[in-house]
Structure 1
Amino acid sequence: MRHQDIINMTQDIVMPILEEEKLELVDIEYVREGKDFFLRVYIDKEGGVGLNECELVSEQLSEQLDKHDPIKSAYFLEVSSPGAERPLKTKADFKKHINKNIFVSLYAPIEGEKEYEGILTHFEDDIVTLEYKVMTRTKKVDIPFNKIAQARLAVVF
């Protein structure tokens, strides 16, 4: 079974659990590290998730995965918070994080750059607007959503 199929089946199984617990699905990864496979489910809620929520979702998800058995080989299940630098994957993620500091990497350069970090000031018509500093000057860049390879919240120190 392809990795994407495993991710899709896991999403179908975990969503009712998360809805019941009023939690949000941030991301699912199915990856090989060395000889081991890991199924990682990242969850969140306003104010962040704690160990209790992760354990609860892990127990319920594990039970459902055992019942449906979508993954035939051995793997480790991990349910956790995405952390302070959580990924931004969907358009809803971008809309929800207006006025937050984010980091984006692009498939192709815009204005000569493939990476930007700054304040997400606007998201409309599939255009992400970032305000960033170059030396002492504040600049803006408009980035088409489909040109973003990866994006995440960025912690400012």
Structure 2
Amino acid sequence: MEHATSPPDLPHHTGLEARVADIIAPTLVDMGYELVRVAVLGRERPTVQIMADRADGSQITLEDCEAISRAVGAVLDVEDPIPGAWTLEVSSAGIDRPLTRRKDWNRFAGHLARAETVLPIDGRKRFSGTVLGADDTHARLRLEDGTEVALPFTEIRKARLVLTDALIDATAASSRSN
């Protein structure tokens, strides 16, 4: 089940990860959380990794992760998208978080990030620079040489913030204001 586009508030997933995301996202929303990323790793006994944020923007706690794990585990047990035995891991996005949604790219504009695309763009697959934000279809970076690049969301294999003092300070200020 290939997803060519995702709503701007949901991360872009394909295949089994897209199916899991479709199944669990409504439960997370009902609980006051947002889905940041789903990853299904391994073959014999796969691990389903769920990364979530609180919808109100405050820091996610261990208790939040436990509540998400119980609810999502129950939904996955019923829907059964993964054959056989599997393990569930739930975590917060963390400070050097992945950038999976338009809102992440806009929220962290001005911070450093690294991105990798599925196919080359302008002859390359790896990009590093300052986040400039995003629209419905593209995330934008100002590269170290000053040029700007627009990365189609459907072509981003992975992207994440780079841990810097400025990011730590911004994250600390954000959690104090919530």
Per the TM superposition, whether the score is higher than 0.5 is: yes
Query: In structure 2, what is the equivalent of residue 39 of structure 1?
Result: 48
Partner of 1:140: 147
Note the C-alpha offset of 1:128: 3.9
Equivalent residue, structure 2, for 1:91: 102
Structure 1 equivalent of residue 22 of structure 2:
12
**AA of the residue aligned to 1:56:** A
Counterpart of 1:53 in 2: which secondary structure?
Answer: helix
Structure-2-length-normalised TM-score: 0.68
- Report the TM-score, using the length of structure 1 for normalisation: 0.75
Larger fraction in strand: 1
- The range that moved more, 50-59 or 13-22, is 13-22
> How far off its partner does 1:32 sit?
0.5
Rounded to whole Å, the distance in 2 between the matches of 1:125 and 1:60 is 30
Match of 1:120 in 2: 131
- Which structure has the bigger radius of gyration? 1
The answer to whether residue 31 in structure 2 is matched with residue 21 in structure 1 is yes
CA distance in 2, matches of 1:86, 1:16: 22
Matches of 2:136 and 2:33, distance apart in 1: 27
Q: Give the unaligned 5+ runs of structure 2.
A: 1-13, 166-178
- Deviation of the 1:155 alpha carbon: 1.0
In 1, the alpha carbon distance for the partners of 2:103 and 2:133 equals 12
- Deviation larger for 99-108 or 46-55: 99-108
The alignment's C-alpha RMSD in Å is 2.8
Q: For residue 102 of structure 1, what is the aligned residue in structure 2?
A: 113
1:30 aligns with 2:37: no
Output one character per residue of 1:120-145: Cα deviation in whole Å (capped at 9) or x when no partner: 124347454423445xxxx1322342
Count of aligned residue pairs for this structure pair: 149
Counterpart CA distance in 1 for 2:139 and 2:22 is 29
Task: Please state how far the C-alpha of 1:54 moved relative to its aligned partner.
Answer: 0.6
- Contact 2:142–2:149 at 8 Å: present in 1 too? no
What percent identity do the matched residue pairs reach? 25
Decide whether the 8 Å contact of 1:127 with 1:142 is kept in 2. no
- Alignment gaps of 5+ in structure 1: none
4+ residue segments displaced more than 6 Å: none
